[in-house]
Structure 1
């Protein structure tokens, strides 16, 4: 594949469904796309807001896939107007957005929805399936199913997060005018599928379904605000990372989200915003047997590990050269074949060590001694034995030692240098 004579890969055709759409991000008003195979080639001029479609005959499946391509100009990810700033400054916003929930419901109807990425142990999930399962052959479900098969990690995260850029206006799904995209990258991955999303919403009676469950959503949001206490997290993080401040913090979730969590950060017009896209921390039967402090620690962990990236990452970037030297031999820090193997560069590896190290520090300040010791051991066991961060236990204990013995006026940000020196030994 060539876009304006720049070569790129276009693999995985045999994994696609019968339809595939994609929008390239370009800096000009048009681009020339050329697809070349061993036996044929095709080229076309792509322009913004114009969909160009063609069919590829797949020899392996003896069928065709209809591809639709367009281009869009590169724009900044968020635009914070003075009105937006006034309405959101100093706020902690927790929400289950309407279009966001629609996308999660569609995920639940795909093959990927059968995995643990979708949380199923609620009456709400059963209600979702009971209402929407009859629409599982709808074009938007089929397209998202094919995307999730093509690259599950990428498209699950990007389609879900990017849906937050949209809302309903006069029963139409439209960009709210605040965000171009939420997830990392240069484009909103959901944008090409909004017309199909609109059709699905109308056909399936989604807006009435969402309205019917507003009390349920409100109850989850109230519980989250009361027990997770994101405002306390923000205060602690800004005290320990005084060089990083956010004008607003948003926690965005769906009761259908299982294990996939992520975060985004935006700066525009002298306004900064941190977003945590998380699950809802439902308690299982074993959790309910624990003390109140332990239950609190279990429930708030995911939210804290996403929010704290907004603070620990900018600080880590200031030390990127020394971190690279200290974590140069990643075999000392991660384990092949375990989740830690995905953190395969020095900076992100250090950041993930600090991520859960900060959880330990925060818990040492807010939990009683017994609960803290149990939660600290739980974190270390999970990080070392389950996730494969082989030196986390000793890293965690050293960070805790430094934190408990820091001098008056010192912050966690001040401890980075000592932790990097320790890691270099």
Structure 2
């Protein structure tokens, strides 16, 4: 029951996580982060992931917690002794009452940093995870509420020593992101192709994250940051180097480009609703998960998200790589219930080839009209 519930929440989070405004992007922060990509395994956030991993909910759910690999074994071996601590039972009860506390706890961990044995308020992320979906909101930061208990757990369990001893592994996770996904390259391409501009990208990673990853954004003082909460990238020894790059790029790219596709989709919503009004022509409604794409706008946006990834492949890899990636995307989308990916891609490439010198936003109407046939 818990596992299936979190599977549903995974879909909901990918669709409806709201941007939060409880941040403070002062001039120093803006100067240091403008145009930069940051990948971090944040110490306080990692503590919260570990604490959740040893709750009953965490131990029972491998959608939420990555339960394979040496790192997870180290976590269990080091911290399971403390699973009966009162604060662990409290976090377990919070998530059982509302599974979204997974985000409220791990997301708001950014609002504190360790200084010795104490947690000190962060000057940038004041209350970074306040809303999840339009109807789920908290008004008090739970890390503030349980600050003393979290500090005590960290000291008693030897967390800071554990974190320090794994710094070499954390650094490898970060370097693998640059080698196998190259966020900067994706960002540069998207900024060139769309009107939307972003000031900073930050990946908050944890080796304990499995399927429950999401993207949100923060805007303050005319500075926009996209933050992605993601697991480490993977390198499959059975795949070639380029296949590993494509696989990892796809997962990240289709998170990022929602931020760029969304604006022109909204601006052309009426036209999309007219052309894509026959939903069952585009979606196999018998497939689980399609109910979370209930209208033409959502359906088109999902097609476009994966279509833009294939455009990126077309511009950055050779034709054989693009052909293989296109087939994999068609299979993936068909399996999910999006049955017209081949037609969508064909029209998309045709319109794109005719408009190489224009922003994607500008030829959206032409693309939408191409489906009237």
What TM-score does the superposition give when structure 1 sets the normalisation length?
0.74
Paired position in structure 2 for 1:309:
258
Indicate whether 1:126 and 2:76 are aligned: no
Cα deviation, 1:345-380, whole Å, max 9, x if unaligned, reads 443333222221111111122222222222221122
Equivalences for 1:340-351 in 2 at 5 Å? 340-351=290-301
Q: Distance in 2 between matches of 1:258 and 1:304?
A: 17
Larger Cα Rg: Structure 1 or Structure 2?
1
CA RMSD after TM alignment: 2.3
SS at match of 2:114: strand
2:244 alignment counterpart: 295
CA apart distance, 1:184: 6.2
Determine the structure 1 residue equivalent to 2:355. Answer: 407
Question: Are 1:99 and 1:166, in contact at CA under 8 Å, matched by a contact in 2?
Answer: yes
Quote the residue 1:92 is aligned against.
Answer: 37
The match for 1:231 among 184, 190, 198 is 184
> Offset at 1:327?
4.1
Partner of 1:352: 302
Whole-Å separation in 2 of the counterparts to 1:346 and 1:197: 45
Q: 1:294 to 1:211 in 2, by over 3 A?
A: same
Distance 1:160 1:340, change over 3 A: farther
Following the alignment from structure 2 to structure 1, what is the Cα–Cα distance between the partners of residues 331 and 169?
35
Residue aligning to 1:218: 171
- Structure 1 stretches lacking a partner, 5+ long: 1-74
Is 1:156 aligned to 2:102, yes or no?
Answer: yes
* 2:51 and 2:88 in contact (8 A); partners too: yes
SS of residue matched to 1:288: coil
Of residues 266, 269, 272, the one that matches 2:224 is: 272
Shift of 1:93: 0.6
- Does residue 1:138 correspond to 2:48, yes or no? no
| Greater share of residues in strand | 1
| Secondary structure at the counterpart of residue 354 of structure 2 | coil
Contact 1:325 1:424 in 2 (8 A): no
Give the drift of 1:328: 4.1
Aligned residues: 344
Partner of 1:23: none
CA drift of 1:158 comes to: 3.8
Partner of 1:384: 334
Using the TM superposition, give the Cα deviation of residue 344 of structure 1 relative to its aligned residue in structure 2, in angstroms: 2.8
Partner residue, 2:49 = 104
